Amino acid sequence: MSRIDESLLTGIPPFRKLERSQIREILDLATVRRYEEGETIFEEGLAADRFFLLLDGYIRVTRNTPAGDQIIVLHIASGQLFGIAPALGRDTYPATATAAVESISLCWPRRHWHEFAEKYEGFATETYKVVGERMQGLHDQVVELATKAVEQRLASALLRMVNQSGRKTDQGIEIAFPVTRQNISEMTGTTLHTVSRLLSAWQKQGIVASTRRHIVVTQPHQLVLLSDAIA
């Protein structure tokens, strides 16, 4: 792959306070990696020997429960750091990262994390803001699981994906990466049968258009109403 231009990183939080020459220094230490859809980038519990910046694509982050079930905790869009175990004070990855679509990332050996944090203004503080936002998002999802009905949780999960990756089409707003009903059941703590039943009902009502791996939200406002409905 050709040399990555510094301009690609100038607006990204960890790098936006840096001079182009400083971004060049960081880029020159990076390795470019390409991942096929479904390819595992790193696994929960393994040594966190690298950290990453997603240049293009989407990353699906999952965790395993003590019972052995898989839960999707978030999706990461291009322009974000991930695999940042050092920012959490961890030596192992807290979750598994998989390419939701064909994706390209930069990666650096773990040893550069503290060097970047100490040398480059804003690298650490901007990164910790992102970590804080993700933790708040995870907290909100835990509250949803504990307090909201299944229909509300499903509506909220679709809205999160639309807000993160939605692109306008003739039908409505399409979630930009493939998402199956099994994926959605893993996000919302419910069964595949329940997800299929609700999506089929919403499709008949004209709220969504759903195929095997793609979802278009045709009436976003109705999803907002469903997510906020009193259980």
Residue-wise pLDDT for 13-65, tens only, equals: 899 889 999 999 999 999 999 999 999 999 999 999 999 999 999 999 998 87
Domain closes at, from 79, 113, 144 = 144
2 — pLDDT class (breaks 50, 70, 90):
low
Residues 155 and 187 in one domain: yes
pLDDT by residue (tens digit) across 59-89? 999 988 787 778 888 899 999 999 999 888 8
Number of neighbouring beta carbons within 10 Å of residue 142? 12
What CATH number should be reported for the domain holding residue 197?
A: 1.10.10.10
- The predicted model gives 8-16 an average pLDDT of 88
Verify that 120 and 133 share a domain, yes or no. yes
Q: Are residues 124 and 35 in the same domain?
A: yes
Name the helix (H) or strand (E) containing 55. strand 50-56
For residues 181 and 196, is the Cβ–Cβ distance under 8 A?
yes
What's the Cα-to-Cα distance from 162 to each of 75, 105, 140, 174, 199, rounded to whole Å?
11, 22, 17, 7, 15
Distance, in Å, from the CA atom of 82 to the CA atom of 52, rounded to the nearest integer, reads 5
**DSSP state for residue 37 in the 8-state scheme:** T
My answer on whether 131 and 204 are in the same domain is no
161: Cβ–Cβ under 8 A, 6 or more apart, which residues? 75, 175, 179, 215
Same domain, 97 and 16: yes
Cα angle 36-39-40, degrees, rounded to a multiple of 5: 145
Kindly report, residue by residue over 187-201, the tens digit of the pLDDT: 888 899 999 999 999
Last residue of one domain, picked from the residues 144, 179, 210:
144
Total number of domains in the chain: 2
Q: Mean pLDDT, to the nearest integer, of 99-117?
A: 95
Regarding whether 138 and 29 lie in a shared domain, the answer is yes
pLDDT at 207: 95
- Nearest 5°: the CA angle 79, 75, 182 is 155
Which residues pair with residue 35 across a beta bridge?
103
Does 138 share its domain with 170?
no
Task: Tell which of 117, 144, 171 closes a domain.
Answer: 144
- In terms of DSSP H, where are the helices of 88-228? 112-119, 123-147, 150-165, 181-188, 192-204, 220-228
197-207 exposure pattern, b = at least 16 Cβ within 10 A, e = fewer: ebbeebbeeeb
Share of the chain above pLDDT 90, in %: 58
What is the amino acid identity at position 118?
A: E
10 and 95 in a single domain? The answer is yes
109 and 131 fall within a common domain: yes
The answer to whether residue 1 is domain-embedded is no
> Domain range for residue 218?
148-228
Same domain, 45 and 134: yes
